Amino acid sequence: MSVEFSNTYQEILLDNLMSIIKQNFIFQTQLKIAEGFGNKTTDLQSQYDAIASQLNSLREENNSLREQVGQVDGYKLRAEANNSAHEEKNRIQSALNTELQKSALLKTNLEQKEVEILELKQKIKLLETPEPAPTPKFKSKPVIEKEPTSNTPLILSKGKDGSMF
């Protein structure tokens, strides 16, 4: 073999070796970069899964809150109904109190009138009872009353003013 062939062969071999080494370095660099992308992809996937999980829990919370809003609206309607019923109760209570005050005033007036009526009845009884005849201060002959004869009817009646005719 010739020296020239050997030198050329070694040059080509060295060039090929250098090319293989360069390709190996490029390939290893690409592998490392791909591993980095793989790690990033894995990290991103785990972050995506965590976000999806949070999103699902937020959806469930949202649905729960919507149900609670519906319940609160029901409570609000009940509260408004209770408020109107309370106002109606207060109105009726104040009307009842007013009527009870009027009734108490009328009862008091009635009792006063009944007391006045009793007093007036007592005065009437006192006025209706005949006063005893005054006794004369001098002595006179006793008056003998004659009994009425059957021919002359005499009717004694007592008037309302206490006198007899």
Alpha-carbon gap, residue 87 to 74, rounded angstroms: 20
What is the model's pLDDT at position 154?
Answer: 46
* CA–CA dist 88, 100 (Å, integer): 18
In angstroms, the first-to-last Cα distance of the chain is 194
Residues in the chain: 165
Q: Is the pTM of this model over 0.95?
A: no
**Using alpha carbons only, how large is the chain's radius of gyration in Å?**
65
36 pLDDT band (50/70/90 cuts)?
A: confident
Among 57-66, 100-109, 134-143, the minimum mean pLDDT is found in 134-143
Q: What value, to the nearest 5°, has the Cα angle with vertex 36 and ends 34 and 41? A: 90
Percent of the chain with pLDDT over 90: 62
Of 161, 155, 159, 162, nearest in space to 132 by CA: 162
For residue range 111-152, list pLDDT tens digits in order. 999 999 999 999 999 888 876 666 666 655 555 655 555 554
Mean pLDDT, range 6-33, rounded to an integer = 91
